[in-house]
Amino acid sequence: MVITLYHAKISPPSRGVLMTIRALGLNCEIKEISLFTGEQYGDEYKKINPRSKVPALVDGDITVCESRAIACYLCNKYAKGDKASLYPSDANARAIVDMQLYAGEWAAQNYLTYLNPAGVFRRGEKPKYETEPQVKDSLTYTENLLKKHKFIAGDNLTIADFFSFTDVLFLDLVNFSLDDFPLVKAWMQNIKSLLYTSEVNDEGLKLGKDGFEAKLNPPKETGF
């Protein structure tokens, strides 16, 4: 059975799921959904996710939406041997991963409000720079986690790292400095060193950065 991932390169939660797929070594068919042309609002995609959001995953007769739920499902179903620690089965260890997955939604929302990608791309708005304190609150939360352990949910790499990583990486759209968060910076480098990180993230990040640059600093008319 082929797993199908409905994905958008620019989307951090889509990339978090793809990092999970790569970490588990699963085969999957990727269907790229063009958020720029509004493909997510078309009848075809609404049959997959009536909420018009990516990512979504179809595996045989089950369809799962919500990126973190998809990653948990994939680990529950396919993580074997040394991959099992990505989403540990021990109730206490799993509770910590789940907690950080949910807390990650709060951080993601703070980053998204600040970057305002829908406003920048669709309505000619600017990022909401005035919400920087909320971004710093979320980064401080992550910095404090990393004072206690090497990864987001303990001393092992878990799926919580993938989602926190893709969300923090998104701040690069406006070259947000992580200098005040040295442990976050070092942990980002650590995750970047994984074999699949670059393949999953680089193109989408470049797409976002180029798009932001074109919208926020359009070339000046020369008058000629």
Ligand X SMILES: N[C@@H](CCC(=O)N[C@@H](CS)C(=O)NCC(=O)O)C(=O)O
- Footprint of ligand X (CB under 6 A): 11-13, 35, 40, 52-55, 66-68
Residues 6+ apart with CB under 8 A from 14: 5, 7, 8, 54, 55, 67, 204
Q: How far is the CB of 23 from ligand X (least distance, A)?
A: 17
Q: What are phi and psi of 178, to 5 degrees?
A: -100, 15
151, HSE (Cβ side, Cα atoms, 13 Å):
21
Q: Which two tokens stand for residue 160?
A: 């919580």
CA 216 to chain centre: 23
d(CA 156, CA 86): 8
Q: How far is the CB of 207 from ligand X (least distance, A)?
A: 12
Toward ligand X, which CB reaches closer, 172 or 185?
172
> Minimum CB separation from ligand X for residue 155, in Å?
26
Considering the complex, state which of residue 54 and residue 86 has its C-beta at the smaller distance from ligand X. Answer: 54
Nearer Cβ to ligand X (51/147): 51
CB of 166 to ligand X, least distance (A): 9
Closer CB to ligand X, residue 42 or residue 182?
Answer: 42
